[in-house]
Chain A
Amino acid sequence: MTTPVLETHQLAKRFARTWALRDCTLSIPPGRVVALVGPNGAGKSTLLRMAAGLWRPTQGTIEVLGERADRENSALVGRIGYLDQERPVYQGFRVDELFRFGRATNPTWDMDAARAYVDQLGISLRDRVNNLSSGQQAQVALAMSLAKRPELLILDEPAAALDPVAREDLLRLLMREVAERRTSVILSTHALGDVASICDYLVILSRSRVVLADDLEFVGQSHRLLSASSTATPTLPDGVTVIGTRTSSREVTHLARTTLPLVDDGWQVSEPTLDEVILAYLRHETDHGVTPTHELDQVLRGEAS
């Protein structure tokens, strides 16, 4: 049995009276590139910071690479590469000084790899970090995470606010690392295009709760668009949970999660795009403020077969 890279049980984090994350139960298998998707304030950064050992949970448990996420467990922290949403770097430092810091604090540090990363991006080791563009700073920060040779990379919106070229460079660097070293990656993103192009596992967070967590392949297989005339809408088949509905004057279209093969009983069935699935979940949460159904909740928590 393979050890999940991230496993949480009833994980919750509260700041004063506000829950940043609640009832988060997840198990992410190794070797995946996981997209963590959700609106602002959904709890993505909270989950990632707890996984990186920066924050302590208020309730529940969180295990990373089979070990309890603990800030004093330096061996575990050494196996994780973390890039924060704010991409903090020591502003007055030169790039080679940052790398010297990385080497001094990480036994697995690969200096040759670190130099190669920035060299490919045209960044000099003598450059001062505060003289670099925000895209270059993000790339240096990512290079520091990669040069640790981590088993798990946790990236909080790594490509946010980057121009298209910098974004492309950063994602290419990331994907090459994944391909060469088979590093597990969990990245939060608002760019739905990135999810389809580089990820193979999807976690959707909304209103501080996990509403979907599955292989992208299975997400595609388990969701369907059901369309019918708005004047003669047939009964929904068994085993279908409606996530979102679009209504026009002539047609009703449900995006639904299906647990059974659909038979043709008056509905026109088609395969939704990944963007449609993600947006349907996010809209559902915004409209209803709850997870779709108790049944879906059970499915997400692995309680239903």
Chain B
Amino acid sequence: MTWMSWRLQRSLYLFFVVATAVVLGLTLSNGLHTASLLHQWKATPCHGGNGFNVRYQAYCHDLFNNYMHSRSADQFYALMAVVPLTLLGILLGANLVAGEIESTTVRVAWTQSITRRRWYASKAAVALASLTALSLPVCLTYTWWIATVDFAPRISSTTFAADGWMPLVIAVFAFALATLIGVVLRRPGRAIAATLLVMILVTWAIQNEVRPHLVAHHWASGVTTVVTKGDFTGANVSFSTPPNSWILFQGYVPTDWGHTVPTRGQTSRWNDELASCMSHGSSANDFTTCVQRLGLRNVQVYVADNEFWALQMREGAVYLAAAALLLGAGLVLVRGAKA
């Protein structure tokens, strides 16, 4: 049955192997080029001191611009880490059961001397193994690329879904989702369309609604310093937030506010109160007085960069647990499905 499962997906899989190889080649090339530019910019003379950075200002400026230009396609490369694998997962899942129902070959498969449970498990296992085998070079390449190109902060950047093992787990989830939808809709074309729609909603929800709650939040209070330069007086706010942290919130909250991220409505109300107070004066001292009178403090809520792998593991576990549930539901439905 393993051979049969492989034979059924072979053409599709090999097409994606070739496509992925092309994408990885482009990514490697871009990573090496960008890393070279970054290395040159960070080295002497641009960061060598002794006035070199002034003497070579134009050269360094061009170098930095070239580096930024080289990494400007980050969205494209991040998508290329996720989209081909996810698409492969969806196609494998949609065809796993629905493809055979549509072509009526389930009437051949389900009348051989194997149970539907074994048939389904074998096909799913081969598809998952294939998906994993193709995902490993993708995950390794993109993790290297993101580190090399020096995106920061990694934990909050748009490249998070392309980093670590996320391309693999998202593809596995897409496979499981397409499999279940395929069993329900019984037509692979409809299953692919429905899965794409659901995947967009799920990834948006995970990124915006789930991810921030998967790891502990930290708080840092802002220290306001009044700076006077000639006739100008300004306020400088600094936070003790570690570098490369993922800032979830920054703004004014009441001094007795607990360690939760306030809602938009709440922050809007406090900002309105502050603006109303500031209508009587606009100097830095007036501002500091208003903040104290209203009992507010400036804070940053953040996730530290060292939580990156914990967040990767937990978000990956959410996807994989959901995938296991979907595949289990698919098995239950397949056992009772009409051929």
Contacts and interface: CB of A to CB of B under 8 A. Distances in A.
Interface of A: 49, 52-56, 71-72, 74-75, 77-78, 80-82, 84, 86, 88-93, 97, 100-102, 104-108, 141, 144, 148
B110 A88 contact: no
Given A54-B338, A55-B338, A101-B4, A106 B112 contact: yes
Contacts of A90: 8, 105, 108
B190 interface: no
A92 B3 contact: no
A88 B107 contact: yes
Given A71-B335, A105-B1, A88 B113 contact: no
B11 A72 contact: no
Contacts of A72: 115-117, 335
12 contacts: A52-B107, A53-B110, A54-B110, A54-B111, A54-B338, A71-B335, A72-B117, A72-B335, A88-B104, A101-B7, A106-B112, A106-B113
A107 B113 contact: yes
Interface of B: 1, 3-4, 7-8, 11, 103-105, 107-118, 335-336, 338-339
- Most A-side CB within 10 Å, residue of B8, B108, B116, B335: B108
A68 to B, nearest CB: 15
A-B complex: 9 closest residue pairs judged by Cβ atoms: A78-B113, A105-B112, A54-B339, A88-B104, A82-B111, A84-B107, A106-B113, A74-B115, A88-B105
Contacts of B116: 71-72
Given A93-B7, A148-B113, A88 B338 contact: no
Contacts of A105: 1, 4, 109, 112-114
B113 A92 contact: no
B91 to A, nearest CB: 15
Contact of A77 (B4, B11, B104, B112): B112
B128 to A, nearest CB: 20
B261 to A, nearest CB: 50
Contacts of A148: 112-113
Nearest to A80: B111
A104 B115 contact: no
Nearest to A102: B112
B65 to A, nearest CB: 52
Given A90-B8, A90-B105, A91-B103, A52 B113 contact: no
Contacts of A88: 103-105, 107-108
Contacts of A81: 111
Contacts of A80: 111
A74 B338 CA distance: 17
Nearest to A15: B338
B114 A74 contact: yes
A180 B90 CA distance: 48
Contacts of A91: 103
- Most B-side CB within 10 Å, residue of A53, A74, A93, A106: A74
B213 to A, nearest CB: 41
Contacts of A108: 113
A90 B106 CA distance: 10
Given A86-B107, A88-B108, 6 more contacts: A54-B338, A80-B111, A82-B107, A84-B108, A101-B4, A104-B3
B335 A86 contact: no
Contacts of A54: 107, 110-111, 338-339
- Most B-side CB within 10 Å, residue of A77, A106, A144: A77
B160 to A, nearest CB: 39
Contacts of B104: 84, 86, 88
A186 to B, nearest CB: 14
B21 to A, nearest CB: 23
Nearest to B107: A84
A273 B273 CA distance: 101
Contacts of A82: 107, 111
Contacts of B107: 49, 52, 54, 82, 84, 86, 88
A1 B111 CA distance: 28
B202 to A, nearest CB: 32
A90 B100 CA distance: 9
B110 A92 contact: no
Contacts of A86: 104, 107
A56 B113 contact: no
Nearest to B116: A71
A75 B113 contact: yes
A52 B115 CA distance: 13
A93 to B, nearest CB: 7
Contacts of B336: 56
Contacts of A78: 112-113
Contacts of B338: 54-56
B104 to A, nearest CB: 4
A203 B207 CA distance: 62
A77 B8 contact: no
Nearest to B108: A88
Nearest to A56: B336
